[in-house]
A and B are shown apart, each in its own frame.
Chain A
């Protein structure tokens, strides 16, 4: 199944190692996740509101939305990396029942980050230590995460590099000597060292050119074949279409649609007007923008946050739509009949 050193971390009995039985039990169950930031003067910024989704072993879920919609805050919340003024609600359960939102820093640092959730960062150039070689950083991660004896570290680091398709010949280079694609692979290799069953990729393709976006997305996707789950956060719909099993669309802090990728990108297409608008804005489709701007998270309207920009908005939209059946909308686009 999986290669490389196994995590000696505390895995409760009965927990399935990754890759045994796909989809038997969700690797991650997020329910009612909300994050708000307290500001001076008793005001709040509601960055994530009542988000919920499940991620099965081997599944790739892509969370799409425009910048500032709260998707990166959601990722930080799962890793316990929110700043001090953040308040969270809801649950995010790993497969053994550990609640990521309730766990203390010690548990997160010693058993979760790197071991059960591997983070593929947004900007590998900023994530890697500039003054040390890739090998030295990988060996440090091996030492910290697996406790491998000195003698085994070199081989373990090389194995992790190989899994991320990072060429062994480049291991002794410093980050500035790597191209964007290789730096991305080095960062991915670091995320793979702990053999975590869940990979969390936060905008891994921002600023890369199209070929590299495709390659990075494909490589991340390949890691799900041995049973890992992938949660990718992106604003790049082309990358999402390429690798997603499931798509979650976020707008103004809320997940407004959760749908299988084939239906979302193919026929009959998304049901939420915002999601339809996003797809229509692609240059390979109509290339027409949505009117207006998203609302500020500090001043969300009481009803549907998208109503002001929505072609289908009506009186009902003054009330917030509930998220049911994978959709939060009073006027879902009527799915066109699938053409054979």
Chain B
């Protein structure tokens, strides 16, 4: 279970972007979170991915409350959640060839020996050929870079996936392909999914259930 309990989170002074929001994800299920731009859904997604410390409220990850965030989070919790962001350009180190981009989480966790098998396997899964793996981000299209970012999110075999507007910048075919990869991975591993977006047609097609942002605020789980 991934439980967001009465989360209030924001950026500095002023009105918090997220106020008293609760959401529970069951293992193995997919939840679509719909909302207009600027409503705070991306902030909530960052909390769920341990990337943003909430001002109030608790995140319980598979039974353990999260007390430390970002790089301070214990590795076991941090690697349980894979994240894909909206803009691959902003989420990729421009110096790394796609191969190293995908391998980076393995290196950071001291699992270098797995790089040789895991990276080609994932590259095949997301549809990146060997020639593309040697290129740096500026040499590939947005769609190809997002494919690499999805492979990076899956490389540690997370139990949870958070996809924040993963397909908003992509053409229809690449979007369908990446959703297919996520679903294939979930079918293999039983991972749970939080997909954040603003396209009801997409999320209703993709997810087991969709919730609208307006239904979440001020409810206790």
Contact = CB atoms under 8 A, between A and B. Distances in A.
Contact of B199 (A210, A287, A293): A210
Interface centre among B141, B176, B204 (most CB of A within 10 A): B176
A213 to B, nearest CB: 9
Nearest to B168: A207
A288 B144 contact: no
Contacts of A68: 141-143
A12 B142 CA distance: 43
Contacts of B180: 288-289
B205 A284 contact: yes
A77 B105 CA distance: 41
Interface stretch (A254-262, A275-283, A313-321): A275-283
A290 B175 CA distance: 10
A206 interface: yes
Contact of A284 (B38, B168, B174, B201): B201
Nearest to A290: B173
B175 A281 contact: yes
State which size class the interface on B falls in: 20 to 34
B108 interface: no
Interface in A200-218: 206-212
A289 B176 contact: yes
Contact of B173 (A180, A206, A210, A289): A289
Contact of B38 (A180, A206, A237, A294): A180
State which size class the interface on A falls in: 20 to 34
Contacts of A287: 176, 179, 205
B221 interface: no
A67 B127 contact: no
B200 A210 contact: yes
Given A283-B202, A287-B179, A67 B168 contact: no
A67 B142 contact: yes
A293 B132 CA distance: 10
Contacts of B143: 66-68, 293
Nearest to A64: B171
A66 B171 contact: yes
A283 B201 CA distance: 6
B156 interface: no
Given A180-B38, A288-B176, 16 more contacts: A66-B171, A67-B169, A179-B38, A210-B200, A235-B171, A278-B173, A281-B172, A283-B175, A283-B176, A283-B205, A289-B173, A289-B176, A293-B128, A293-B129, A293-B132, A294-B141
Interface of B: 36-38, 86, 127-129, 132, 141-144, 168-177, 179-180, 198-202, 204-206
